[in-house]
Amino acid sequence: MVAPTEDAFKHAMSANAAWSAYKTHQNPSFFSSLATSQKPAILWIGCSDSRVPETTILGLQPGEAFVHRNIANVINPTDLNTMSVIEFAVRYVKVQHIILCGHTNCAGCAGTLASRELGGVLDTWLTGLRTVRDAHEAELSAIQDDAERAVRLAELNVEAGTRVITANKAVQEAIKERGLQVHGTIYHVGTGILRDLGLGTAVSADGVSSVVANGVAEKREIVTGKHGVLDFSDAGAASLAVK
Ligand SMILES: [Zn+2]
């Protein structure tokens, strides 16, 4: 971490020079092969929060995740920015997975629950989150703990977002034609663990999540790294799929 007295920009510039030299030393063709094309398997849509840097938490490298992040990972079908990223990633980059990720300790969720006015365009941006909050008011107000209530709102927001994503025409075509998968997840800032909510294409035609259906939805954790995917089930057993 940069010391308070250190210039963060100068630090970032020198860290970048050291990083690029290190990567080139490790693999002399690393950057030149990236310069020719990109073939990321994942489109990541997450919050702008500095504690949820997708490439780092997924153990990925440059070129392995196409990314869109906005405040509170709100998915609005009329937002040209989000929808352009989705359409480009699906139609042209041809990603295999779309991962929508909410997170614990999200200021957008906490502020929405507290009905805090942020001013400017921020309250307009968070309209969708307030709609989700109001639609689930009874469930949310029954949760005593403020942090837990904010996590639940984050989950409901991801659920609403995956519905918008799977309703997108380009996404629907890719699901049908080449098996594109849409996932809803929550990242736990305090543990570093990404949790699969069993939403999106994991939900069957009768509306039941395949993850929930086998009874492990709340306790299942999936950890994806550069070389493999760790899947923790509620039985305490972990399986490792090596890429
Ligand atoms: Zn957030």
Residue boundaries of the structural domains of the chain:
38-242
DSSP 6: S
79 CA to middle of ligand 1, Å?
18
Q: Is 136 one of the annotated active-site residues of the chain?
A: no
Q: What value does the CA radius of gyration of the chain take, rounded to a whole number of Å?
A: 19
pLDDT at position 79, please?
Answer: 97
Q: Is 152 a catalytic residue?
A: no
Q: What are phi and psi of 173, to 5 degrees?
A: -65, -45
Q: What span, in angstroms and rounded, lies between the C-alpha atoms of 152 and 147?
A: 9
What integer is the mean pLDDT of 154-171?
98
Comparing 20 with 230, the larger pLDDT belongs to: 20
How high is the pLDDT of residue 236?
43
Average pLDDT over residues 59-78: 97
**pLDDT at residue 3 greater than cutoff 80:** no
pLDDT above 50 (res 211) = yes
Share of the chain above pLDDT 70, in %: 82
Which structure tokens are listed for 222? 């999936």
pLDDT score recorded for residue 220: 47
* For residues 72-95, average pLDDT: 98
Token readout for 88 is 């480009």
- Residue 68, annotated ligand binder? no
Longest dimension (CA), the chain: 58
pLDDT confidence tier of residue 70, bands split at 50, 70 and 90: very high
Banded model confidence at residue 6, pLDDT cuts 50, 70, 90 = confident
- Distance from C-alpha of 161 to C-alpha of 79, rounded to nearest angstrom: 12
Taking residues 84-105, what's their average pLDDT?
98
Cα 187 to averaged position of ligand 1 atoms, centre (Å) = 10
Q: Which residue has the higher pLDDT, 216 or 222?
A: 222
Show the tokens assigned to 73: 């990972």
Q: Please tell me whether 109 is known to bind a ligand.
A: no
Q: What is the CATH number that goes with domain 38-242?
A: 3.40.1050.10
Q: What pLDDT sits at residue 224?
A: 56
Give percent of the chain above pLDDT 90: 80
* Catalytic residue status for 146: no
pLDDT of residue 234: 45
Question: Burial, 79: exposed, middle or buried (Cβ in 10 Å; 0-12, 13-18, 19+)?
Answer: middle
Mean pLDDT of 186-211: 87
Task: Write down the pLDDT at residue 203.
Answer: 82
106 belongs to an annotated ligand binding site: yes
